[in-house]
Amino acid sequence: MIILAQSKASFRTASGISTALTENFYTNHHVLFYRNPCESHLLESLNELEETYRSILRMNLRDSIFTVEDLFLVRILDKLPKEDLTRFLQRRTSVFEKLSYELRLTIKIFIEENLSMSRTAKALFIHRNTLTYRIQKIRQITGLDIRNFQEAIELLTISYFVTSNI
């Protein structure tokens, strides 16, 4: 199903569609949308959606709602040799799975807020000191410092492949 509409509340619309599908017993579905208005032609946008959706299927991603913009990295990872990706995931996935729901949510929001401490704390409705504690805990468990861009990308990559229930 492809829905083309201009909407400032695109996530809310996508979430509503996903909920409706789930409530009607379509638990295995993917809703893919653009967070920002499309600036390309319709055919280009449809091709990008199709390529992104194929990457979701090939990479066996478990979430049901995705934005095209957030899956640019997934499309790049999809082009890597499977052996390289598997080796990378084997080293890091078991450690990531040890993270609690709160720490996984912290990673997700921290990356969505462009590694900004103040915006992340505000989005999570927590004090900055609590966020600092969580970031230290993430580093202690994973060995990765999410404040470092390279390591944040590594955590983001791992998060695509671990069922997060976020």
Asked if residue 143 and residue 88 are part of one domain, the reply reads yes
Out of 53, 78, 103, a domain closes at 78
- Predicted confidence at residue 62, as pLDDT, reads 76
Out of 58, 78, 98, a domain closes at 78
- pLDDT value at 21 more than 60: yes
- pLDDT value at 1 more than 70: no
Let me know if residue 5 belongs to a domain. Answer: no
Q: Which domain holds residue 33?
A: 10-78
Q: What is the pTM of this model?
A: 0.71
Asked if residue 112 and residue 74 are part of one domain, the reply reads no
Let me know if residue 22 belongs to a domain. Answer: yes
The pLDDT tens digits of the residues spanning 111-149 come to 989 999 999 999 999 999 999 999 999 999 999 999 999
- pLDDT value at 164 more than 60: no
Q: How many domains would you assign to the chain?
A: 2
Of 31, 73, 33, the closest CA to residue 55 belongs to 73
Best-predicted range by mean pLDDT among 33-37, 43-47, 51-55, 130-134? 130-134
Instruction: Determine the average pLDDT of the residues in 47-71.
Output: 87
Let me know if residue 73 belongs to a domain. Answer: yes
The structure tokens listed for 17 are 């569609």
Amino acid (one-letter) located at 51: E
Asked if residue 105 and residue 73 are part of one domain, the reply reads no
Let me know if residue 4 belongs to a domain. Answer: no
Contact (Cβ atoms closer than 8 angstroms) between residue 116 and residue 84 = no
How long is the chain? 166
Asked if residue 18 and residue 36 are part of one domain, the reply reads yes
Asked if residue 105 and residue 89 are part of one domain, the reply reads yes
- Predicted confidence at residue 125, as pLDDT, reads 95
Give the C-alpha distances (Å, rounded to integers) separating 21 from 30, 58, 60, 78, 106: 10, 22, 19, 27, 28
Let me know if residue 144 belongs to a domain. Answer: yes
Instruction: Determine the average pLDDT of the residues in 35-44.
Output: 77
The pLDDT tens digits of the residues spanning 89-98 come to 888 888 899 9
Out of 78, 112, 135, a domain closes at 78
Let me know if residue 1 belongs to a domain. Answer: no
- pLDDT value at 8 more than 80: no
Give the C-alpha distances (Å, rounded to integers) separating 37 from 31, 40, 42, 76, 109: 16, 9, 12, 22, 22
Distance from the Cα of residue 130 to its chain's centroid = 23
- Predicted confidence at residue 40, as pLDDT, reads 72
Let me know if residue 142 belongs to a domain. Answer: yes
SS3 category, 140: helix
- Predicted confidence at residue 143, as pLDDT, reads 94
The structure tokens listed for 24 are 């009607």
